[in-house]
A and B are shown apart, each in its own frame.
Chain A
Amino acid sequence: MGYWYWKPSYPLSHSWRLEQSPLWVVFRLNIYSSQFWRLLYYDLGYMGLHGATLGIFLVAGFAIWGAVNGNGAFVRADVNDSLLLLQAFIGTVMFTALTLSAADKERQTATKALAETNHTLEKRVIERTQDLEIAKNEAESASRSKTLFIAQMSHEFRTPLNAVIGYSDILQMGMLGDMTPDQTERIGFIKQNASRLLGLINDTLDIAQIEAGKLTLTESRVNTQYFFDELLQGVKSLTAKKQITIKTVYHQTIPERILIDAPKIQQIIVNLVGNAVKFTPEGVITIEIGANMPNEWFFAVRDTGIGMSAESVKQLFEQYTRIADATTKSIEGTGLGLSITKRLVEFLGGTVDVQSVLGQGSVFTVNLPLKPL
């Protein structure tokens, strides 16, 4: 051991103890603790190229030292053999160490790149989230202002209409003195047109309301037959001036009580029957109510009116589209009714089907999910 000694950085003294030696660290190592292996792994990992070089020198040094002293596996009869073997050994160790070191370097670079990518991604996610948050807030505020606008419009339209319809009513009811039949008729015209304007406003605001996503579901249990009887009693007034009979057919399949959004169903039926009345000069309108599947119920409005061609059926539910030809020109409407109907049905999770034959009539079928009571 004469060739090699370890010189401490501090002077040796009588008080020198093992604890002061760097080897103390080795003595104290507890190889049974996972902490040790983790530290070792990390140290080796971080040692990299320098560590490998140092390792080669150490191992080669020991090998040479051993061979020179005539100890170890490298001692052969011929010195040349011994040196060749030693060279081969050192070369192998060196290449192994270099390969490992390169692999480790690569790993470190990859880890760094990954960390950078990760960081960039995180930053981007944060940016995107902020963008989305801003967009969401903008959309929400737009929706809020739209709703406010709807309410305001409704108010601004209805206030003057209240005066028009109110005075017409007052005059027509003879509250300000008797009117000649001619005058009463003309007042009736004013009222009719004002009501039509009101219908227009209601439809437009309904569409705006639907588009602002302001529909809410208000479901209640109803007695099917009672609900439809009462509803269709009200609808009958639509046929006042025409030679039209309204018939109701209840299929045995419909449950006695169902869970529905009554106001929306009412609006849908009034729209569909109103439509049927509009396009039926005279004849029969049949309303069928039933259930043909365990989880679905339907109602169908069948008329014997003027019907539609296949092309017309296609564009039927488009907004502001009215089927315009010679036969329908004289019929008034906003072109919003069926669009509203379709949107309401879709909101309720159902579908509308139309079958129509030109000159024979149309059938509008609304299929809706049958909800458990």
Chain B
Amino acid sequence: MEKLQALVVDDNWYNCNIFRIALEKAGYEVEIAYNGRDGLAFLETKPYKILVIDLQMPGLNGIEVLTEIKDSPIRKKMYILVVTANAYMATEDLEDLSDMVMFKPVNIADLTFFLERVKRIVL
């Protein structure tokens, strides 16, 4: 069976690495973009099932990326998990831009639970 594709967009190498380990353990094939612009370019190339995205990034930030793809057809086939370190962020703005918001530090058990649930829905 073909593996599900996942894309991680975060400017912090360690965080990307953590998400890669957790995603691969949950059975996804992972690709990583270290900024918003690369992330947008990656999204054009493949039908990703999960997008894990940070908000505060140099250049194009997470909100801008999510606003960009908001109405595009790729959004409809993809689950978006926003991971932010800004705990005082108003999550209402993210409600229609994403499917799930987690605050850093992310509990890996929670993340795994979310990944498994998406997999069960998709497969």
Chain A positions near chain B (C-beta within 8 angstroms): 147, 150-151, 154-167, 169-170, 173, 175-176, 194, 198, 202, 205, 209
Contact = CB atoms under 8 A, between A and B. Distances in A.
Given A155-B85, A162-B105, 14 more contacts: A150-B88, A151-B89, A155-B56, A156-B85, A158-B85, A158-B105, A162-B15, A162-B18, A163-B18, A165-B105, A165-B106, A169-B109, A173-B112, A176-B21
- Among A173, A194, A198, A202, the most chain B Cβ lie within 10 Å of the Cβ of A173
Contact of B106 (A162, A202, A205): A162
Interface of B: 12, 14-15, 18, 21-22, 25, 56, 85-89, 103-109, 112
A-side interface mostly: helix
B104 A161 contact: yes
Contact of B105 (A147, A156, A198): A198
A163 B15 contact: yes
A3 to B, nearest CB: 98
6 contacts: A158-B87, A162-B14, A162-B104, A166-B105, A169-B107, A170-B22
A220 to B, nearest CB: 15
Contacts of B112: 173
A205 B104 CA distance: 15
Given A151-B88, A175-B21, A175-B22, A158 B103 contact: yes
B20 to A, nearest CB: 10
Nearest to B112: A173
B112 to A, nearest CB: 8
- Among A162, A163, A164, the most chain B Cβ lie within 10 Å of the Cβ of A162
A170 B22 CA distance: 7
Contacts of A176: 21
Contact of B18 (A151, A166, A205): A166
B87 A159 contact: no
B13 to A, nearest CB: 9
Nearest to B56: A155
A-B CB proximity, top 7 nearest: A169-B108, A166-B18, A158-B85, A163-B14, A162-B104, A165-B105, A162-B105
B91 to A, nearest CB: 12
A170 B111 CA distance: 11
A203 B22 CA distance: 29
Nearest to A169: B108
Nearest to B26: A175
Given A151-B86, A154-B85, A159 B104 contact: yes
Nearest to B108: A169
B88 A166 contact: no
Nearest to A152: B86
B115 to A, nearest CB: 12
Contacts of A158: 85-87, 103-105
- Among A166, A176, A194, the most chain B Cβ lie within 10 Å of the Cβ of A166
A170 B108 contact: yes
A166 B88 CA distance: 21
